[in-house]
Amino acid sequence: MTLWLVPLLPMLAGIAIAAFGPQSRRALAAISGGVLAATLILAVLAVAGDWTGALDWGGGIALTARLVPLSALILVMVPAVALPVTVHAALHEAQRGLPRLVGLMLLFTGGMVLVVAAADLLTLLIGWELIGACSWALIGHDWRDRDNPASGLYAFVMTRFGDLGLFLAAMAAFGATGSFAYDALGGLQGPVLLIVAYGVLLSAASKAGQVPFSPWLFRAMAGPSSVSALLHAATLVAAGAYILARLHPVLSAATGWSVTVLSVGLATALAGGIVAVLQNHAKRLLAGSTSAQLGLMFVATGSGYPGVAALHLVAHAFYKAPLFLAAGLAGDRAGTYALDRLRLGRVMPLVAGAAAVAALALAAIPPLGGAWTKEEILKAAEAAGPWVAFGVVAAGAMSAAYATRFLLLAFGIGKADDESPAWPEIVGPLALSAVTLILSALWLGPVSGDLAALLGIALPEGSRFWLALSLLVVALGVASGVYLSRESPDLGTAGTAAAAADWLGLPTLVFRAVVQPFERLATSAASLDTRAVDGGIRATVTLMEWAARTSQRFGEAATDGLPEGTARLTSLAGRDLRRLQTGMSHHYYAYLVGGLALIIVFLALGA
Amino acid sequence: MLTLAILVPLAGAALLMMASGLGLRAARWTAVAFAAVPLLLLVIVWAGFDNGPGAPAFQATAEVPWIPSLGVAWRVGVDGISLALALMSALLFVGCVAWPMENPDRFRAYYAWFLFLECVSLGLFLVLDLLLFYVFFDLSLVGMFFLIGRWGHGEAERAALKFFIYTLAGSLAILLAIIALVLSADPVTFDMRALIAMQPLAGMDLRGGLILLGFVLGFAVKTPLFPLHTWLPPAHVNAPGPASAILAGVLLKMGTYGLIRIPFQMLREAFAAWSLPIALLALASILWGSIVAFAQTDMKRRIAYTSVNHMGYAVLGIAAAGALLTGSEGARSFALTGAVVEMVAHGLITGALFLIAGGVWARAETYEMDRFGGIAQVAPKMTVAATLAAFASLGLPGLAGFVAEVQIFVGAFAVFPWIAAVALLGILITAALFLRMLQQMFFGKLSEARAGFADLAPRETTVLAVLLALVVLIGLWPRWLLTLVDGATQTILGG
């Protein structure tokens, strides 16, 4: 069977649902759930049967799809996370435009599956840009408020800037090897390898919301919370971490690449942690945390353990998605995402429970699976050096602090003054958190050992010292999270904290350093162009008047037709515009006559 | 067969002019029928087109002597490039003729001019004689001049005049270059095939350069390339939608097609020597076109400037393909195939965009984007069509523009890495400007003034659906198009 089937099923179904989908929530949930379940089954079959795909575009271009163990893992993860999230969207999100929302989420998932299955840079680029476009449509889903499409534009353009890196990588790779295939990248050397390696890194960093591209993740919060869950857990953002892990074997040969990946990741992990701790907006807190967690995956890949990054990507997907869904339920109920005004633990205890499991995994509290993968990253960082390990420990402290703060403020004990959400709205987060619980099995040596062996993943060796330090620091982080939520629940609503919480001023910097100068450049270029137009008009008119006068002077001596034509030509230039059309044919014939005369002259000269 | 494809629309035009009793509907359907015949004929030619190795470069040829002493004859024939462009043009003409008139006034003349324009446009792509090429090149100006001047709005006559004079000046440069080129041939002939085989100016530095300059100048005006593009925005803004679609979709292609067929193929050495300046001119068009488009507040001006940007990609591909006489064949054939696919894709995509713009004018009589907002609410079909066309234009994978642009970039990178890398910025800026256009016009709150904005009528929907379906098909499965074009580029670069 062909591997194309796996991305095509959700894509085609998604387009069909967006165009003709039913309005009924249950029907939408059933259809989209069925499609994604089928996609999941296909993905498992594809992994088991080692399916491949190839499509000849002609003209020397072929698209190819093939799996390696690492991509097989992500191929199964993507529909597995998308299934509960999309069903939740069908059951919970606003009714208006619901078929379009659900259909686009399927298309989005299909695009991500294509990214995972790709075996060459061109196929990758197709999936890569497709998920970018889907994110535009999904973030701007509620287009009646123009701020939403504007946020979608921000996200799309900023991630597309990164896509240029992938374009460049594909161009350089093809120029050097005559092929886009991943397999051909192994032979690259010198500047071409540098272009490919850093081009891929640029696009991965922008998709994964790493510094300095992080602000788009905040703008992406304009979309419905189900979209955020999908985008942050399984698709767009995940694509960045995935592709670095997937291409690590070939790209790590480029000079300084691993160190750069590691530095970008560590910087984002720390900065994202600070931003998330200071945020008062529930979804933005989670968005900051996404950047930070993806940063940790970059650290793992940069340290030489891409498999560990992939495992953390899976664990992160299963705890981040329910957190977003829970935040959406809370925010929609309270009418605000301001953390200091939620405390809905008693209103929606089951949601709070699901969020608690996921938040503890985010905080990396054993025995949850998220804690295991984070400690594996710490071990990988140890291999890269003590400073890196120290950075990861510090980032872990902040994860613990913001996860605790989120949980206590959003789902702390408040008033039970409202009905709890109906079952259909709770199923999604509960199912995802259940998987997070199941992933706790990773702490069992045989389980994780077997999994790593199955996927061909090398697990790093680490010392007890760092593990102990890390667990201690996590405990401190939790304690400070509790302290912050008790003592200053309105942290990040005013003053320096609020300013820093807006991605440490990065959005302002982007606006002042890129957006504004470009708009000024465009405006002045346009006015220059318009002035050139005016100049052109004037020059043309002047030229024609001159031509008309000249030909009139010589016209008397020429044929009978010419004076007539030139008289009309004069009128063309100026006053009676109404007569221009009739004059034009004469004008035209005058030129033809001139042209013929020229031909004759040339012939005479040539003969 | 090809001769018939050229003459049938002309016969249709004559018929429409004479049949004075014809009503609007009857006139339109007569025009559609006459416009569709060449499409059908070209599809038949395409079905019989041999793409195998060793197949003749030009097929479906026919020749009728005209002025033997000068080597002028009625010569027709197609290779993969001209066939692809002629097919696209014929389709676009059918769509534009079927599209509702904005101002149903003097409709018989309107449709007659469209058929006349179809005749000369197809003629330009299908003939293999330089003199005929030049005649059709000039006659296309006449047809478009009347369509803009008589059925346009705003300062239509002024814009039409500017368009006419500007491009006529360009075509005079071409005329001089043609005469000089033909006189350098021995024996004197206007047969394109003979001139390609002869390479009459090989080894002549100054003369070759001057003749090349004449061609490049003339075609650069028509394409248009920066800084010779300033006739384009006013012509578009004041033209009726379907005329704009033909102007952008078909007439601009004459510039790039001419660039390939004449200087590229007939003056290989001179073209290779001057390919870097041409590529730089293309880069300037790519960047300038997109930057200036970004600042436009008028929807049609914005789309018009993106044409400068997109045709810049096509010229970049052509320049890269012609930069070397041997070596890097793979990358160069990529660049040339990409350039041709870009022309086809741009014809379909920008044709659709201008038709939509025409629809907007017919409903609101303004193109100022800030006077719209939220029309997605009342015109969902138009929103979907505009979104699809905009994404295709900004080069989204899965749509036709991407296939072309990725080939151009990849091919050009092998020859001019820095130019190709900088040109990438163009696709970022076009992304921003198209999404902004969608955001301003279609999203947000619906203003009361636009509450009565009607969605696409069935006829408009059908035309756009056909054009955009092809855009999607080329984007997903371009094999049929790439095979056709690639056969020609292999012959051009190999021979």
Q: Which of B230, B406, B479 sits opposite A533 (nearest CB)?
A: B230
Q: Does B431 sit within 8 Å of A156, measured CB to CB?
A: yes
Q: Which of B396, B443, B478 sits opposite A149 (nearest CB)?
A: B443
CA distance B22 to chain A (A): 24
Asked whether the beta carbons of A572 and A580 are under 8 A apart, the reply is: yes
Whether B413 contacts chain A with CB within 8 A = yes
Distance between CA A354 and CA A436 in Å, rounded? 10
The label of the residue with tokens 């200036």 reads B292
Q: Which of A363, A82, A37, A100 has the alpha carbon at shortest distance from A234? A: A82
Distance between CA A317 and CA A232 in Å, rounded? 8
Whether A175 contacts chain B with CB within 8 A = yes
Q: Enter the pTM of the model.
A: 0.90
Question: If you ran DSSP here, which 8-state letter would residue B65 be given?
Answer: E
Residue A102, amino acid:
V
**Residues contacting residue A16 through CB under 8 Å, at least 6 positions apart:** A103
Q: Does B406 sit within 8 Å of A59, measured CB to CB?
A: no
Q: Which of B231, B294, B413 sits opposite A171 (nearest CB)?
A: B413
Find the mean pLDDT for residues B385-397. Answer: 94
The label of the residue with tokens 């929606």 reads A348
Q: Does B478 sit within 8 Å of A526, measured CB to CB?
A: no
Closest chain B CA to residue A174: B410
Asked whether the beta carbons of A10 and A79 are under 8 A apart, the reply is: yes
B436 interaction partners in chain A (CB closer than 8 Å):
153
The pLDDT, as a whole number, for residue A565 is 53
Dihedrals φ, ψ of B60, to 5°?
55, 40
The pLDDT, as a whole number, for residue A493 is 83
- Provide the ipTM: 0.91
Strands B72-78 and A61-65, sheet pairing = unpaired
State both tokens at B43.
């599809």
Distance between CA A71 and CA A248 in Å, rounded? 12
B485 interaction partners in chain A (CB closer than 8 Å):
59
Q: Which of A521, A523, A588 sits opposite B142 (nearest CB)?
A: A588
Asked whether the beta carbons of A361 and A406 are under 8 A apart, the reply is: no
CA distance B357 to chain A (A): 21
CB interface of B with A, residues 284-343, below 8 Å: 288, 291-292, 294-296, 330-331, 333-334, 337
State both tokens at A589.
């014939």
Whether B244 contacts chain A with CB within 8 A = no
Best probe of the A interface among B178, B430, B439, B486, by most A CBs < 10 A, is B439
Q: Does B166 sit within 8 Å of A540, measured CB to CB?
A: yes
Distance between CA B136 and CA B132 in Å, rounded? 6
Best probe of the B interface among A134, A519, A537, by most B CBs < 10 A, is A537
Q: Which of A130, A153, A581 sits opposite B436 (nearest CB)?
A: A153
Distance between CA B119 and CA A398 in Å, rounded? 71
Find the mean pLDDT for residues B133-159. Answer: 90
Whether B1 contacts chain A with CB within 8 A = no
CB interface of A with B, residues 494-523, below 8 Å: 518-519, 521-523
The pLDDT, as a whole number, for residue A549 is 77
Distance between CA A482 and CA A469 in Å, rounded? 20
CA distance A522 to chain B (A): 5
Q: Does A170 sit within 8 Å of B410, measured CB to CB?
A: yes
Residue A455, amino acid:
L
Size of interface A-B (CB pairs under 8 A): 186
Asked whether the beta carbons of A108 and A138 are under 8 A apart, the reply is: yes
B165 interaction partners in chain A (CB closer than 8 Å):
540, 544
Question: If you ran DSSP here, which 8-state letter would residue B495 be given?
Answer: -
Question: If you ran DSSP here, which 8-state letter would residue A222 be given?
Answer: G
CB interface of B with A, residues 33-72, below 8 Å: none
Dihedrals φ, ψ of A72, to 5°?
-60, -45
Q: Which of B158, B227, B374 sits opposite A577 (nearest CB)?
A: B158
Hey, is A502 helix, strand or coil?
coil
Q: Does B176 sit within 8 Å of A525, measured CB to CB?
A: no
Find the mean pLDDT for residues B217-230. Answer: 90
Banded pLDDT at B23 (limits 50, 70, 90): confident
The pLDDT, as a whole number, for residue A577 is 41
Q: Does A157 sit within 8 Å of B439, measured CB to CB?
A: no
State both tokens at B418.
């820095």
B142 interaction partners in chain A (CB closer than 8 Å):
584-585, 588
State both tokens at B168.
């006529």
Closest chain A CA to residue B395: A129
- Compute the mean pLDDT over every residue in chain B, rounded to the nearest whole number: 91
The pLDDT, as a whole number, for residue A340 is 86
Whether B209 contacts chain A with CB within 8 A = no
CA distance A144 to chain B (A): 4
The pLDDT, as a whole number, for residue A607 is 45
Residue B76, amino acid:
V
B149 interaction partners in chain A (CB closer than 8 Å):
580-581, 584
DSSP string for residues in A425-485: HHHHHHHHHHHHHHGGGGGSHHHHHHHHHHHTPPPPP--HHHHHHHHHHHHHHHHHHHHHH
- Cα dihedral sign, B46-A61-A159-B287: negative
Strands A53-58 and B72-78, sheet pairing = unpaired
The pLDDT, as a whole number, for residue A540 is 67
Asked whether the beta carbons of B192 and B75 are under 8 A apart, the reply is: yes
Distance between CA B357 and CA A139 in Å, rounded? 26
CA distance A69 to chain B (A): 27
CB interface of B with A, residues 93-152, below 8 Å: 138, 142, 145-146, 149-150
Block means of pLDDT (10 residues each) for chain A, 607 residues, are: 92 94 93 96 94 87 92 95 95 92 96 95 93 93 89 91 93 90 89 94 94 89 92 92 94 93 96 93 93 96 94 95 94 89 88 94 92 94 92 95 94 83 89 92 89 90 91 94 88 84 86 88 87 68 76 58 52 47 56 67 56
Q: Does B396 sit within 8 Å of A129, measured CB to CB?
A: yes
Taking the CA of residue A316 as centre, how many other CA atoms within 13 Å lie in the half-sphere pointing to its CB? 32
Best probe of the A interface among B120, B190, B230, B298, by most A CBs < 10 A, is B230
Diameter of chain A by CA atoms? 106
The pLDDT, as a whole number, for residue A596 is 67
**Residues contacting residue A576 through CB under 8 Å, at least 6 positions apart:** none
State both tokens at A155.
């996200």
The label of the residue with tokens 């292609």 reads B253
Distance between CA B406 and CA B388 in Å, rounded? 19
The pLDDT, as a whole number, for residue B153 is 85
β strands within A146-288, DSSP E = none
Strands A53-58 and A61-65, sheet pairing = antiparallel
Distance between CA A338 and CA A410 in Å, rounded? 9
Find the mean pLDDT for residues B129-152. Answer: 92
The pLDDT, as a whole number, for residue A563 is 47
Asked whether the beta carbons of B140 and B170 are under 8 A apart, the reply is: no
CA distance B446 to chain A (A): 8
Distance between CA B81 and CA B78 in Å, rounded? 8
